[in-house]
Structure 1
Amino acid sequence: MKAIVLEQFGNIDNLQFKEVPIPQPGMGEILVKVIFAAVNPYDQKVIEVYGREVGVQLPVIPGSELSGIVEATGEGVTRFAPGDAVCGNPGNFGGCYAQYTVVKAGDMAKKPGPVSFEVAAAIPIAALTASKAIFDEGGLKPGEKILIHGASGAVGSMAVQLANAAGAFVIATGSGKNEQRIKELGAAVFIDYSVQDFTTMAKDIDLVLDTIGGKTQEDSFGVLKPGGRLISLVQPPSEEIAAQHQVAAKMIFSGPNAERLEQIMQQVADGILKTTVEKVYVLSDAKEALRAMKGGHRTGKLLLNP
């Protein structure tokens, strides 16, 4: 099969497009024919910055999010059969930038028929991260006010939709060019960070979702009501500042959750949740896709089509 292989950390240019053997599923695993693999910031960071630090072993096929079709099942797998359409984010980094990959069956969800393979590949990480942040860790309840920073990004835009669907009052920050789209997704108030100061427009907030860090995170403590919560995806919040404002604050990491993902995919099928795919690259153009993603200012997910 064709795959993108990394044999040395440090640079996107180290990626190689080459022929490798098709992997075989073991106990509790499934072999998936990859239809689309998503290109994520985490992929680039592992390749260029901290792959060795997080224990990624070389050589590795990058990629941590996909949609595809089950080709074969390993021993002990009962949830899936060959021909099933699936999607998800494998718990261990790697494998998706290829024509076939082996993943743990427990990490995958079935793709509902109405949902395209493109959308199914673009949903899992952003939706699961947003859901864990605002519900599991943030404890968002109907009627509460949530401030979502970076609402035009993949996680932010998913958080807007999930919070709105849960009955929360959504205030979102982002670039002015994205205002209409973010309001259509469910934001009641949009704050253009380039010309407006959110600290004067957002008050008595129950929950802040921080996807920015730095000064944005620090200033967010001042808009929370006593007893409020701040959840960051990018930077550990200051315990001292949190205590001064009488709020709770933490940084969280996401991971696979097949049961939750199947619920999310049904919301996608029902039209409650939406995502945007900006561009699809052929697998051999993975370097170009990663550079485009690294450049920022994306309007949607970037995908690879093996």
Structure 2
Amino acid sequence: MKAIVLEQFGSIDNLQFKELPVPQPQAGELLIKVVFAAVNPYDRKVVEVFGKEAGVQLPVVLGSELSGIVEATGEGVTGFKPGDAVCGNLGTFGGCYAEYAVVKQTDVVVKPAAVSFETAAAAPVAALTASKAILDEGGLKAGEKIVIHGASGGIGAMAVQLAKAAGAHVTATASGKNEARIKALGADVFIDYTTQDFTTLIKDADLVLDTVGGKTQEDSFIILKKGGRLISLVQPPSKEKAAQYEVQAKMIFGGPNAGRLEKVMQQLAEGRLKVTVEKVYVLSDAKEALLAMKNGHRTGKLLLNP
């Protein structure tokens, strides 16, 4: 099979398009014929910045998010059979940038017929990370005020929808060109960070979701009410500032959650959640896709088609 393999950390230029044996499923695993693999910012960051710290063993096939068709099952697998359409978030580098991938049966769910393979590959990481951040870790409740920074990105856009569905008042920050799209997803207030200072427009927020970091994160302490919460996906918040402003602040990571993913797939099937696919690349152009992810503000998900 064809696959994108990393044999040395440090640069996406180190990725190689190689021929590898088709992996075989062990007990509790499925062999998936990949239809689409999603490209995520985390993929590039592991390659270029913190691969060793993330515990990645080389060589490795990239990719943690996919949709595909069950080709074979290992011993003890229940609930799946060859021919089933599935999707999932496999955690760090589950081997999705390939024609075939072996996955744990606990990391994937059956794809509803009403959900396309493109959507099914584009949704898991964004939906699971956003829901974990604002619902599980952030404890968002109906009637609360949430501020979502970087709302035009995949996770941010999903967070807008999930927060609105939870009954929250949603303020979203992004560049002005995204205003119509983000408001259509449910944002009550849109702030163009390129022309407006959110610290002068927001006060007494219950929860901030930070997908940006840096000064945006630092300034977010100002807009939180006492006892408010800040959840970051990009860098650990300052403990000193959290104490100064009497708020809770932490960084979290996403990960597989099949139970919640089943609910997300149902919401997508019913049209209650939406994801945008910006572009589909062929597998051999994975470097180009990762470079696009690195160099520009994306308006939707980038996918690879083996």
TM range (shorter): over 0.9
Secondary structure at 1:147's aligned position in 2? strand
Instruction: Quote how far apart the aligned CAs of 1:91 are.
Output: 2.8
Q: Distance in 2 between matches of 1:8 and 1:226?
A: 46
Give CA deviations for 1:258-304 in whole Å, capped at 9, x if unaligned: 01001011111111110110110111111111111111211111100
- 5+ residue gaps in structure 1? none
Partner of 1:83: 83
Give the match's secondary structure for 1:240. Answer: helix
Q: Kindly indicate whether residue 163 of structure 2 is the aligned counterpart of residue 173 of structure 1.
A: no
Matching residue of 2:100: 100
Between 1:186-195 and 1:232-241, the stretch displaced more is 232-241
Shift of 1:79: 1.7
Q: For 2:223 and 2:47, locate their aligned partners in 1 and report how far apart those are by CA, in whole Å.
A: 37
How far 1:121 moved relative to its partner?
Answer: 0.4
User: 1:156 maps to what in 2?
Assistant: 156
Q: Which amino acid aligns with 1:11?
A: S
The yes-or-no answer on 1:32 pairing with 2:39 is no
Amino acid at match of 1:137: E
Give the CA deviation at 1:235: 1.2
- Displacement of 1:213: 1.2
Residues 47-196 of structure 1 aligned to structure 2 (within 5 Å):
47-196=47-196
Q: Provide, for residues 124-179 of structure 1, a one-character-per-residue CA deviation record: whole Å limited to 9, x for no partner.
A: 00110000000000000011110000000111000000000111100000000000
Residue of structure 2 equivalent to 1:2: 2
1:53 to partner: Cα distance: 2.3
In 2, Cα distance between equivalents of 1:49 and 1:226: 35
Deviations, residues 81-133 of structure 1 (Å, cap 9, x unaligned):
11111111113423101000001110111111100000100000011000000
Q: Distance in 2 between matches of 1:103 and 1:291?
A: 27
Higher alpha-carbon deviation: 13-22 or 257-266: 13-22
The letter of the residue matching 1:155 is I
Q: Does the CA contact (< 8 Å) of 2:226 and 2:246 recur in 1?
A: yes
Q: TM-score, normalised by structure 2?
A: 0.98
Q: Secondary structure at the match of 2:61?
A: coil
1:55, 1:286 → 2: CA distance? 22
CA–CA separation in structure 2 for the residues paired with 1:179 and 1:200: 19
- Where 2:170 maps in the other structure, the secondary structure is strand
Aligned mates of 2:242, 2:12 — CA distance in 1: 38
Which structure 2 residue ranges, 5 or more long, are not aligned?
Answer: none
For the residue of structure 2 that corresponds to 1:54, the secondary structure is coil
CA contact (8 A) 2:94 2:101 kept: no
Letter in 2 for 1:264: V
The Cα of 1:66 is off from its aligned counterpart by 0.4
Q: CA deviation at 1:257?
A: 0.2
In the alignment, the residues of structure 2 paired with residue 209 and residue 53 of structure 1 have an alpha-carbon distance, to the nearest angstrom, of 24
Letter in 2 for 1:191: I
**Over residues 233-278 of structure 1, what are the superposed CA-to-partner deviations in whole Å (9 max), with x where a residue is unaligned?**
1111112211221111111111100010010111111111101101
- Residues paired across the two proteins, number: 306
Partners of 2:250 and 2:15 in 1: CA distance: 35
Structure 2 match to 1:273 = 273
Percent identity over the alignment?
78
Q: How does the TM-score come out when normalised to structure 1?
A: 0.98
Query: For residue 293 of structure 2, what is the amino acid of its counterpart?
Result: M
The 3-state SS of whatever aligns with 1:71 is strand
Distance between the aligned counterparts of 1:207 and 1:131, measured in 2?
Answer: 13
Task: Find the aligned partners of 1:59 and 1:248 in 2 and give their Cα distance.
Answer: 39
In structure 2, C-alpha distance between the alignment counterparts of 1:239 and 1:49, rounded to whole Å: 24
**Residue 94 of structure 2 contacts residue 103 of structure 2 at CA under 8 Å; is this kept in 1?**
no
Equivalent position amino acid for 2:64 in 1: S
Shift of 1:201: 0.9
Name the CA distance, whole Å, in 1 between partners of 2:167 and 2:126. 20
**Code of the aligned partner of 2:127:** A
- In the alignment, the residues of structure 2 paired with residue 300 and residue 140 of structure 1 have an alpha-carbon distance, to the nearest angstrom, of 25
Equivalent AA in structure 2 for residue 15 of structure 1: L
The alpha-carbon deviation at position 52 of structure 1 amounts to 2.0
CA distance in 2 between counterparts of 1:244 and 1:16 reads 48
Q: Deviation digits for residues 28-85 of structure 1, max 9, x if unmatched?
A: 1100000000011111112222212222111111111100011111111102111111
Aligned counterparts of 2:24 and 2:12: Cα–Cα separation in 1: 27
